[in-house]
């Protein structure tokens, strides 16, 4: 797997306690067009749709690694750090330097070439039937364990973390959060269960942004899809035994005191084709790269023969 320097430096770790958790922020809002906001970085808005797009473009191998270590919340945390550095560079006018602009132009051109080869040219060799056949013939490669999509609120009580406090004070804080959530999540008989679940999720995310003391706070405590073995044992035991859509009681782990909210569950089994078809296509592309390059060479030869091209060797130094 090719990994950028940024990904290496800021590799996400599940349930880690950030040394510099952002200050409490208001609940995520919606833009005027109705799109949901997942983060605001110095007045730069990141919508849920943009986060999903960035995450899906990260590549199957990198997404799989994130799914084991914090999911989209960890990805968003890394993206925020990246954008902060980019904002600093732009404030300093670094993006206006001729050599930097040249590199940016080259990167844009390379991205267009690579995507066109992958998505259009390679389709002559790796079609949808090829991808589906591989899926049908290799079911063991797509087995997955039971997974939960989980959020949490953590309050640290060992004198560490962004807001140091004693265990007693931490317990008082998490009890207050639990009581507030309980009062907000009590609905009269006859309430639509789907609507109630949405409200519970929204309330939990708001509380996580305000009170949680780790890097997932900015995304409402979202730890993404997680398989067994990736989280603290006490936390994991509670999460995998909960029903989706409700808030847990107070769970103590070595990281602090937690409240847990399970959004959804996936049973153990074979991952659906739609979830893995892009990763299969990427794998087949790598396996048949030589064939793809033969097609690219043939295509560029054809284009070269039908295009108007002028070369001035006397100006090549």
Q: What is the pLDDT of residue 29?
A: 57
Q: What is the pLDDT of residue 3?
A: 40
Q: What is the pLDDT of residue 307?
A: 95
- The two tokens of residue 295 are 């097609």
Residues 246/200, Cβ–Cβ less than 8 Å: yes
Q: What is the pLDDT of residue 299?
A: 94
Q: What is the pLDDT of residue 26?
A: 45
Residues 228/236, Cβ–Cβ less than 8 Å: yes
Domains in the chain: boundaries: 15-142+273-306, 144-270
Give the tens place of pLDDT for each residue, 66-106. 877 777 888 888 899 999 999 999 999 999 999 999 999 99
**Between residues 234 and 11, the one the model is more confident about:** 234
Question: Which residues sit opposite 36 in a β-bridge?
Answer: 30
Residues 249/265, Cβ–Cβ less than 8 Å: no
pLDDT for 130 beyond 50: yes
Q: What is the pLDDT of residue 82?
A: 92
Residues 68/226, Cβ–Cβ less than 8 Å: yes
CA distance 257 to 235: 10
Lowest-confidence segment of 129-138, 223-232, 285-294 by average pLDDT: 223-232
Lowest-confidence segment of 72-76, 82-86, 146-150, 209-213 by average pLDDT: 72-76
Lowest-confidence segment of 26-35, 155-164, 278-287, 301-310 by average pLDDT: 26-35
Domain boundaries 144-270, corresponding CATH code: 3.10.50.40
CA distance 244 to 250: 16
* Band (31; pLDDT cuts 50, 70, 90): low
Give the tens place of pLDDT for each residue, 226-256. 888 888 899 999 999 999 988 999 999 988 9
**Between residues 2 and 56, the one the model is more confident about:** 56
- What does the mean pLDDT of the chain come to? 84
Q: What is the pLDDT of residue 34?
A: 61
Q: What is the pLDDT of residue 10?
A: 39
Task: Please give the helix or strand (H or E) that residue 264 lies within, else none.
Answer: strand 256-266
pLDDT for 225 beyond 90: no
**Between residues 219 and 296, the one the model is more confident about:** 296
* Band (27; pLDDT cuts 50, 70, 90): very low
CA distance 103 to 172: 53
**Between residues 138 and 66, the one the model is more confident about:** 138
CA distance 77 to 90: 20
pLDDT above 90 as % of the chain: 48
* Band (173; pLDDT cuts 50, 70, 90): very high
Q: Which residues have CB under 8 Å from 22's CB, separation 6+?
A: 217, 218
């Amino acid at each position: 797997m090719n990994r950028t320097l940024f990904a290496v430096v800021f590799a996400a770790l599940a349930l880690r306690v950030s040394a510099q958790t952002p200050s409490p922020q208001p609940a995520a809002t919606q833009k005027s067009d109705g799109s949901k906001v997942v983060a605001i970085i110095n007045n730069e808005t990141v919508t849920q749709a943009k986060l999903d797009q960035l995450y899906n473009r990260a590549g199957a191998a990198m997404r799989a690694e994130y799914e084991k270590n914090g999911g989209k919340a960890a990805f968003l945390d890394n993206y925020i750090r990246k954008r902060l550095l980019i904002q600093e560079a732009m404030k300093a006018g670094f993006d206006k330097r001729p050599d930097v602009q040249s590199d940016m132009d080259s990167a844009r051109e390379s991205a267009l070439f690579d995507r066109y080869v992958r998505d259009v040219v390679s389709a002559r060799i790796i079609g949808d039937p090829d991808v589906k056949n591989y899926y049908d013939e290799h079911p063991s490669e797509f087995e997955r364990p039971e997974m939960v999509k989980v959020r949490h609120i953590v309050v640290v009580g060992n004198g560490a973390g962004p807001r140091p406090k004693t265990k007693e004070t931490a317990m008082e804080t998490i009890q207050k959060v639990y009581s507030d959530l309980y009062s907000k999540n009590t609905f009269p008989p006859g309430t639509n269960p789907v609507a109630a679940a949405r409200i519970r999720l929204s309330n939990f995310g708001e509380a996580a942004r305000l009170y949680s003391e780790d890097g997932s706070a900015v995304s409402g405590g979202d730890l993404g899809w997680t398989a067994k073995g990736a989280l603290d044992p006490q936390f994991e035991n509670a999460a995998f035994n909960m029903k989706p859509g409700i808030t847990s009681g107070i769970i103590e782990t070595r990281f602090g005191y937690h409240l847990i909210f399970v959004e959804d569950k996936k049973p153990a089994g074979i991952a659906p084709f739609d979830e893995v078809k892009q990763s299969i296509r990427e794998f087949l592309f790598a396996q048949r790269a030589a064939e793809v390059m033969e097609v690219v060479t043939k295509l560029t030869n054809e284009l070269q023969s039908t295009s108007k091209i002028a070369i001035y060797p006397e100006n090549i130094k």
